[in-house]
Amino acid sequence: MTETLRVLQPGILTTIQDVGRPNAVASGVPPGGAMDRFAHSAANLIVGNDRGAATLECTLTGPRLVAINSCVIAITGGDLGPSIPMWTAVMLAAGDEVSFAGRRSGARAYVAIGGGVLGDRWLGSMSTNLMCARGGMHGRALIAGDVISTGEWHDPPVAGRTLGEPLRPDYGDHRLRAIPGPHYSRLGHESQHELWNASFTVNPSSNRMGYRLDGASLRAPADELLSFPVLAGVVQLPSGGQPILLMADHQTAGGYPVIATVTSASMPMAAQLAPGDELEFEETSIEVALSARAAQRAALESLTS
Amino acid sequence: MPRRRSTIRSPRVRIQPLGDTAVLAELGSRLDTALNTRAIALAAALKRRRDVRQAVAGHASVTVSFDPDQITHDALAAAIRRLATKRPPMEEPGRLHRIPVVYDGPDLDEAAERLGLTRQRIIDLHGRPIYRAFLVGFVPGWAYLGPLPDELVLARRATPRTQVPAGSVAIAGQQTGIYPLDSPGGWNLIGRTTVKLFLPDSDPPSLFRAGDRVKFFAIEA
């Protein structure tokens, strides 16, 4: 274990995240983990980590960090105006600083460090769960003065390893591909039409649990359902008619009709939306969704060859 | 009339995509112990498959995440149908939890009025059955318990509370439950317990597991 970076300013919300704790959902604990799994994996692979290692998830305004020891880092995801090139391995010497000038596009940037960020492990994951105050940096967001430690690093540094621009997600595309959900057929024709044609706005109360979507109001089917386990990407429709898109820290079960599910390849784009951003849903098929997923995986695999 | 043997009538399973890497398999839509037993058995059987990443039972359904590199949606649906027609293995009786309750909830009087029962009758009825934990989820440690005696079936409050204290014992519809954390909630609060439902430093971190049995008993404040 090496003390690698010190936090000078934490930013609005910077947390330690890995790929979450999917087995904890049977106890009602949200799976958690990085919101944008593509950016998270890419950052790790660029610095030579396993793709599941923990990174720093930086929200809207990034942190200001200073290197305690020399290290290799990569910043991916949303463009929050970092002081180093994005999607590229960068060598820091002790005393070097990294800062973020402000949001240009997207909502969440990921900082991977060679060796992987270390945090408290809870139920099999280092991901920070703020509600339960467990995991990551003692269950809380980073604060000034925190020291980020990293694990053993085996990979020799690949100076300048980078993910080319054509292989990165198009975060400017706010059309989220989605597949009709199990209860889609219970929507009336008008509401089905609205779902695919209306523009929705991410409500200010949105967070890592989920996004409330303003804009078009859909008519919810009247019948209540017995609760069932749900997943990130699910679009629920409560009786008020305002859909909710579930994200990484979602409640594990719900009884609202599920009218659509955002595809795995569109979830990185969803993760880069901030309150006030507009989005649309675009109906797609499982086949098209899987080929988009395969393209993203091929992009990540290009980093390991 | 001769009693029908309790064989499984070829169960109709409704399998629908939840995106490109998961499906929802619905066995039924009623609150029913036999359906829930089958859902839990189906989830357990699916979890043993290498192409399944995660399978979690709901009240009468299973949410299944799979690896699309190993199996297609259609092949998985066929496998789920096959498994669902198998008679579930004899279920071990779930662990029995006895939960002491002080029945002094803020909604007890209103519930008595709406149900046309005395407070004491509600307390007696609530403590009578051994409930089943149908599903653990929603928030950490919460379990949907039931079914309630018919006389206690009561719609949830018209306006949910913004803050319900942890330990509140509540009823809504055919179900009862205990709030594990301070949280918003719309169920009718009839009592409270000091038993801790969410155990963050244990693994699993929930006192109740799906299939467990729960009995309430009244204690003085």
Where are chain B's structural domains?
A: 14-85, 96-218
CATH class of B96-218: mainly beta
Which residue's structure tokens are 């890497």? B21
Radius of gyration, alpha carbons of chain A: 19
Mean pLDDT of chain A: 95
Q: How confident is the model at residue A157, as a pLDDT?
A: 63
Could you check whether B14-85 and B96-218 share the same CATH topology?
A: no
B59 with A228: Cβ contact below 8 A: yes
CA distance B142 to A43: 36
A28 with B140: Cβ contact below 8 A: yes
CA distance A185 to A120: 44
Whether the Cβ atoms of residue A111 and residue A40 lie closer than 8 Å to each other: no
Burial class (CB in 10 A: 0-12, 13-18, 19+), B205: buried
pLDDT, tens digit (0-9, with 9 covering 90-100), for A160-194 = 899 999 999 999 999 999 999 999 999 999 999 99
The pTM for the full model equals 0.95
Q: How confident is the model at residue B11, as a pLDDT?
A: 64
User: Average pLDDT, stretch A11-38?
Assistant: 97
Ordered by start, the domain boundaries in chain A are: 2-167, 175-301
Chain B neighbors of A253, CB-CB under 8 A: 58, 135, 137-138
In chain A the first and final C-alpha atoms are separated, in Å, by 27
Which residue's structure tokens are 């597991």? B209
Residue B17: name the closest of B83, B77, B81, B80 by CA: B77
The token pair that represents A139 in the structure block? 């269950």
A286 with B73: Cβ contact below 8 A: yes
Chain B neighbors of A182, CB-CB under 8 A: 14, 16-18, 24, 26
A261 with B22: Cβ contact below 8 A: yes
Helix (H, G, I), strand (E, B) or coil at A78: strand
Enumerate chain B positions whose Cβ falls within 8 A of a Cβ in A. 14, 16-22, 24, 26, 29-31, 53-54, 56-61, 63, 65, 68, 73, 135-142, 144, 173, 180-181, 198, 200, 203-206, 209-210
Sequence-ordered strand ranges (E) for chain A: 2-9, 13-17, 55-59, 64-67, 71-79, 90-92, 97-98, 105-113, 117-118, 147-150, 175-180, 200-202, 210-215, 228-229, 234-236, 244-246, 253-254, 258-262, 278-283
B20 with A293: Cβ contact below 8 A: yes
Nearest chain B alpha carbon to A123: B203
Q: How confident is the model at residue A155, as a pLDDT?
A: 65
Which CATH number describes the domain made up of B14-85?
3.30.1360.40
Chain A neighbors of B25, CB-CB under 8 A: none
Q: How confident is the model at residue B2, as a pLDDT?
A: 42
Nearest chain B alpha carbon to A293: B20
A226 with B210: Cβ contact below 8 A: no
Reply yes or no on whether the pLDDT at A221 is more than 90: no
B65 with A227: Cβ contact below 8 A: no
CA distance A26 to A33: 16
Divide the 221 residues of chain B into consecutive groups of 10 and give the mean pLDDT of each group.
44 92 96 94 96 97 97 97 84 91 97 97 97 96 97 91 96 96 93 97 96 97 84
B140 with A29: Cβ contact below 8 A: yes
pLDDT, tens digit (0-9, with 9 covering 90-100), for A278-303 = 999 999 999 999 999 999 999 999 99
Higher pLDDT, A179 or A1: A179
CA distance A129 to B198: 14
pLDDT, tens digit (0-9, with 9 covering 90-100), for A102-114 = 999 999 999 999 9
Q: What value, to the nearest 5°, has the Cα angle with vertex A74 and ends A68 and A75?
A: 105
Tell which of A21, A25, A27 to mutate to test the B interface (max B CBs under 10 Å).
A27
Quote the minimal CA–CA distance from B61 to chain A in Å: 7
Nearest chain A alpha carbon to B67: A290
Helix (H, G, I), strand (E, B) or coil at B89: coil
A286 with B16: Cβ contact below 8 A: no
Which residue's structure tokens are 């509140």? B168
Architecture of domain A175-301: Beta Barrel (2.40)
Q: How confident is the model at residue A224, as a pLDDT?
A: 74
Higher pLDDT, B2 or A143: A143
CA distance B160 to B138: 16
Q: How confident is the model at residue A156, as a pLDDT?
A: 66
User: Average pLDDT, stretch A25-44?
Assistant: 97
Select from B16, B20, B137 the Cβ nearest to the Cβ of A252. Answer: B137
Higher pLDDT, A153 or A110: A110
Whether the Cβ atoms of residue B26 and residue A186 lie closer than 8 Å to each other: no
CA distance A34 to A289: 21
CA distance B88 to B98: 27
CA distance A192 to A179: 12
* Helical H segments across B48-179, by residue range: 73-85, 108-115, 119-127
A293 with B21: Cβ contact below 8 A: yes
CA distance A228 to A2: 43
Instruction: Categorize the per-residue pLDDT at A84 as very low, low, confident or very high, splitting at 50, 70 and 90.
Output: very high
**Helix or strand holding residue A43 (H, E):** helix A37-46
